[in-house]
Amino acid sequence: MSERSENVLEVRNLCKYFPIKAGLFSRVVGHVHAVENVSFTLKRGTTMGLVGESGCGKTTVGKTLLNLTPKTSGDVIFNGNVELDKMSAKQLREFRPKIQIIFQDPYASLSPRLPVGEIIGEAVREHHLVPDNELNAYVSRIMKSCGLFDYQKDRYPHEFSGGQRQRICIARAIALNPDFIVCDEPVSALDVSIQAQIINLLEDLQKEYNLTYLFISHDLSVVQHISDTVGVMYLGNMVEYAGKEEIFANPLHPYTKALFSAIPIPDPTVKMNRIILEGSIPSPANPPKGCKFHTRCRECRGVCSRIQPKELDMGNGHMVACHIYDPESGYDKEEAK
Amino acid sequence: MSEMNNKELRKSTPVTIQADENQMALDDGRRVKVLSPGMMVFKRFIRNKLAIAGICILVFMFAFSFLGGLISPYGEAQVFHKTDSANKELADSEINKTFRFYDMDGGNATYDIRTSFQKGIGKNPDGFSFTAGSNTYVVEKLGEDFYTISGNIELGTVKVSAGEETAFVPADGQEVADELAAAAVAAVAGDQGAKPALPAISKPGAKTVKKDVTFDWEGATYTLKPSDTGSDYTLLSEPREFAVASKLRVFAFDEQYSALTSDYNFRRSSELALRSVEADTDADGNAYYPIQAFTYIGEDGVETEYRMKKIDEAYGIVEDIHEEEILSVSNFFVSPYYPDVRFTREFWEALKAGIAGRQTTFEFVNSVGETEKYDLIKKDNNDNNYTIKTGQDTYLIDAFASPTSEHWLGTDEHGMDVLTRLMYGGRISLMVGFVVMILENIIGIIVGGISGYFGGWVDTLLMRFVDLFNSIPYYPMMIIAGAIMDSFDVDAKVRLYLMMAIMGIMGWTGVARVVRGQILSLREQEFMVATEATGIPVSRRIFKHLVPNVMPLLIVQATMGLGGIILTEATLSFLGLGIKYPLASWGSIINASSDMYVMTNCWYVWIPAGLLIVLTVLGFNFVGDGLRDAFDPKMKR
């Protein structure tokens, strides 16, 4: 494999459009703009949280990164020089263990007809990561480190609870000794107490194996807990990207502000100053012109509906795509609506 | 200790979890019995009573079909025969009460003569003479009810007509030498020459005088008698004996003497001998008939001596000089229906005794020592006329025999044991079911699997192909295929294989659709995406992840489908398009019921086959239902 570079993952202008087919001959009549111009960098051993509303393209980003759905344009570079879409099928298959994914639904992501030991060890054996005679012990070790018991190896997924299943999913990913794991809402299907266990498990594993996570979630508290950096997505666009402390302390984008205002504060005496967004998320098949958020933005001015905002570096790695912070956009000169 | 462990477990992070290998808490997961999905299915399945009933039925059917054929003492196409005493009409017999006439060679007792004789004999039992036609005949008594008839014999007619040549036409049954005919014609011509046949003027009332013309030929005198009406002449021979009238008949015991029975001279002399024997008394004072020798002069002039053993007035046995009984003379008539039938003396006596005793049956021990039974059927309600029927043994195919201890379900129309046929038929029915099912599934899984896994245009193409297959009408197709195989006279075994192939080729589309649908939906499941993400090779993804998940549905489908295939095969065989004789299938066995007679009278031929089909299909459906419920994890029963 390539030499260990500082950046596990570099994403530049990633786009993913899904064609909309209609009519007798499945003519392409339009595209769903699931992901548009998403760029970020992930350093080794860090966790990036990816937040946003349902349907804003978070999961698509995760799957496109792993080439589980082919990207439309842009660059995805692992370990400084590996681009999945330029690999042959064989090379891709061999590189697969380095990049893993943990799915949202632990019930659907385990084959019901294989015992757990086989689910975890199968890919390890296929990729010859450990000698065959050590496989059993290896699987046991991985299971133990994921909070599973050795004797559960011969059981089938239907005999496990949701939290245990998610541990199995994590074990399956960890067993391949990956560099990078896309955690696609790994805790959203679980109840809160189990969520904490899984989050803690992920954190412990990160320390143990020096993992890099892309943590996709719509749960801001979880993201706040686990992430080092946070990206906020709206309708396929990354609207704000910054370090965790920075973004939670000083959210810049109006959407981020609205989103963060919804984080519940576990103190009944504190009056919450919630920003209620009006309207619903526009169709990604026919996104609004200019800033995609302008249809629901409180700060919307004329320029917002005309020109798509550029990504601005506000210093300290804080990126935001909003005309408010762009002196060149002429936002200040226009009247508020 | 364990409590602490549990507490730790709940709040701890995974790294700090220390699984206690030695001690188990009550709720420890290790206490739970591990069941693989297969075992779970099996457990759920055996709890289903209906499914167990189905399994029992199927086990019985398989044992019946595959072991039954080995146990059964009969072969698949073994034909059974029976020896039936078919009441074959053998002969008519009659005690003769009327006169019968026997013509001498060349003699001709015509109808006129016979009726005149019958009229006259009642009044003149000792002989008389009568006129028939224009001739006079003399009846002479030789013995009791035994007369000779003498007179001129009509040999033929000389036809004379104007403008045509005079011709001689022989009388019925007469053979006249050409020279004699020519002499007769010449004599007529001479007569005609003397007198014109037709006078120039015929006066009313005037009688045309015609005289007999006589001529000699080869030492005999012949008479030409002019007819009353025309100009023809009838040729008559010299008066001589030409027939006997008798109430007796001669019957040969053996084929070699049958010529004698139709010989005039033999008949006359033997009957004369019988009539001439007088009763005598032996030393003890019992009446008896002495044996009388007589001589028979054959046509070639050879004299042969025979002995007449008189038994009563109307019955005598003729022996040859070696004292072998060769024929009988009696008033007893037997006319066999078949020319080769001969009766021995013993049979003759038994028959005679039977008729004399007015019995309806009589028995007779034949030369081999077997007892033969004969029926006597009175004919026309006449005590003298009987039809003899034999209980003659005939070797017959034992068709539609009722159930017996030998044939528990009787026999079918070919005389084959129905139970054995059912066993072998079961083999074929079940084999057809399984082979066709496997064939359908192989094709269906391949096509459906490719279609579902690859999707896109491959899917579209294959599914349109499936649509095409689905739109072929099944039964017309099978009927055509059956007709083609009929016309090529395909061997029954080859036909079976071809039929299985055709049924498989026609039936795979359903499987393909199911597999495709299942794989399409499985392919999008997250665990399939996970296999891609972990870089598992395609073949392993298909065979380790997809196929095991499609399998339950396929097993259920196949089990349910088996019943349908067996029914289809039965239907085709019933219609005569499927399995053909000598092979059996349950359907072809039921086919016998298309005959109304079998349907109403031979329940044992078609009801068991029908029951077996119903039970088997029911069994497969029960098992299929059970499997479906067992495979469905949501079913908690």
Render pLDDT for B503-551 as a digit per residue (tens, 0 to 9).
999 889 999 999 999 888 888 888 998 998 898 888 888 888 888 888 8
Q: Are B462 and B455 spatial neighbours (Cβ–Cβ below 8 Å)?
A: no
Q: What is the rounded CA–CA span in Å between residue B329 and residue B309?
A: 10
- CB within 8 Å: B34 and A155: yes
Q: Which residues of B touch A113 (CB under 8 A)?
A: 37, 545, 548-549
pLDDT at residue number A151: 86
Q: Which residues of A touch B542 (CB under 8 A)?
A: none
* Residue A270 tokens, joined: 């504190």
More confident residue, B199 or B236: B236
Render pLDDT for A162-201 as a digit per residue (tens, 0 to 9).
889 999 999 999 999 898 999 998 888 888 888 888 899 9
* Residue B300 tokens, joined: 């070639």
Q: Are B159 and B226 spatial neighbours (Cβ–Cβ below 8 Å)?
A: no
- φ, ψ of residue B579 to 5 degrees: the values are -70, 135
Instruction: State the alpha helices, DSSP H only, in B282-414.
Output: 345-356
pLDDT at residue number A193: 84
Q: What is the rounded CA–CA span in Å between residue A5 and residue B533?
A: 22
Quote the minimal CA–CA distance from B33 to chain A in Å. Answer: 9
Render pLDDT for B557-593 as a digit per residue (tens, 0 to 9).
888 889 899 999 999 888 888 888 788 889 888 888 8
% helix / strand / coil in chain A, to the nearest 5?
35, 25, 45
Band the pLDDT of A1: cuts 50, 70, 90.
very low
Name the residue among B17, B37, B534 with its Cβ closest to that of A147.
B17
Q: Are A57 and A51 spatial neighbours (Cβ–Cβ below 8 Å)?
A: no
pLDDT higher than threshold 90 for residue A7: no
Cβ atoms within 10 A of the Cβ of B288, count? 12
Q: What is the rounded CA–CA span in Å between residue B251 and residue B342?
A: 9
Q: What is the rounded CA–CA span in Å between residue B118 and residue A291?
A: 142
| Residue A312 three-state SS | strand
Residue type, B426: G
Q: Are B253 and B343 spatial neighbours (Cβ–Cβ below 8 Å)?
A: yes
Q: What is the rounded CA–CA span in Å between residue B206 and residue B209?
A: 9
Residue type, B177: A
Render pLDDT for B424-455 as a digit per residue (tens, 0 to 9).
999 999 999 999 999 999 999 889 988 988 88
Rg of chain B over Cα atoms, rounded to whole angstroms, equals 49
- Which residues have CB under 8 Å from A245's CB, separation 6+? none
Render pLDDT for B270-282 as a digit per residue (tens, 0 to 9).
888 888 887 788 7
Bridge partners of residue B416, in order along the sequence: B79
Q: Which residues of A touch B633 (CB under 8 A)?
A: 112, 158
Residue B14: cis peptide before it, omega within 30 degrees of 0: no
* Residue B501 tokens, joined: 């192939």
Q: Which residues of A touch B28 (CB under 8 A)?
A: none
| Residue B214 three-state SS | strand
| Residue B455 three-state SS | coil
* Residue A89 tokens, joined: 């099928």
Bridge partners of residue B250, in order along the sequence: B329
pLDDT at residue number B33: 62
Tally of CA atoms within 13 A in the half-sphere of B355 that contains its CB = 24
- CB within 8 Å: B536 and A158: no
Q: Looking at the complex, does the CB of residue B19 fall below 8 Å from at least one CB of chain A?
A: yes
Name the residue among B14, B32, B533 with its Cβ closest to that of A68.
B533
Q: What is the rounded CA–CA span in Å between residue A312 and residue A294?
A: 17
Residue keyed to tokens 């690859």: B454
DSSP structure class, residue B407: S
Q: What is the rounded CA–CA span in Å between residue B65 and residue B78?
A: 17
pLDDT higher than threshold 90 for residue B465: yes
Question: Residue B98: which region, alpha, beta or left (left: phi > 0; alpha: psi -120 to 50)?
Answer: beta
- ipTM of the complex model: 0.86
Q: Classify the C-alpha dihedral B458-B459-B461-B462 as positive or negative.
A: positive
Name the residue among B527, B540, B633 with its Cβ closest to that of A126.
B540
- φ, ψ of residue B601 to 5 degrees: the values are -110, -25
Distance of CA B20 to the CA centre of its chain: 87
Q: Which residues of B touch A95 (CB under 8 A)?
A: 535
Rg of chain A over Cα atoms, rounded to whole angstroms, equals 21
- CB within 8 Å: B549 and A113: yes
Q: Which residues of A touch B526 (CB under 8 A)?
A: 103, 105, 108-109
Quote the minimal CA–CA distance from B525 to chain A in Å. Answer: 7
Residue type, B367: S
* Planar angle of CA B11, B15, B16, nearest 5 degrees: 55
* Residue B266 tokens, joined: 């033999």
Return the percentage of chain A with pLDDT > 70, whole number. Answer: 98
Q: Are A45 and A207 spatial neighbours (Cβ–Cβ below 8 Å)?
A: no
Residue of A nearest to B9 (CA): A147
Render pLDDT for B467-489 as a digit per residue (tens, 0 to 9).
999 999 988 888 888 889 889 98
B residues 496-555 near A, CB within 8 Å?
525-527, 529-537, 540, 544-545, 548-549
- CB within 8 Å: B32 and A108: no
Name the residue among A94, A111, A205 with its Cβ closest to that of B535.
A94
* Residue A2 tokens, joined: 């390539």
Quote the minimal CA–CA distance from B32 to chain A in Å. Answer: 10
User: Each residue of B610-625: b (16+ CB within 10 Å) or e?
Assistant: bebbeebbbbbbbbbb
Please name which of B382, B518, B503, B498 lies closest in space to residue B445, comparing C-alpha atoms: B518
Render pLDDT for B600-609 as a digit per residue (tens, 0 to 9).
888 888 899 9
Q: What is the rounded CA–CA span in Å between residue B121 and residue B152?
A: 20
What is the maximum span of chain B, computed from C-alpha positions, in angstroms?
167
Mean pLDDT of A276-288: 83
Please name which of B324, B321, B325, B343 lies closest in space to residue B334, comparing C-alpha atoms: B343
Quote the minimal CA–CA distance from A335 to chain B in Å. Answer: 49
Mean pLDDT of B234-263: 80
Bridge partners of residue B240, in order along the sequence: B151
Return the percentage of chain B with pLDDT > 90, whole number. Answer: 14
Band the pLDDT of B1: cuts 50, 70, 90.
very low
Q: Please report the beta strands in B160-263, taking only residues with DSSP state E, as ranges in sequence order.
A: 167-170, 213-217, 220-226, 233-236, 240-246, 249-252
Mean pLDDT of B152-167: 75
More confident residue, B83 or B628: B628
Q: What is the rounded CA–CA span in Å between residue B38 and residue B33?
A: 14
Quote the minimal CA–CA distance from B13 to chain A in Å. Answer: 6
pLDDT at residue number A89: 87
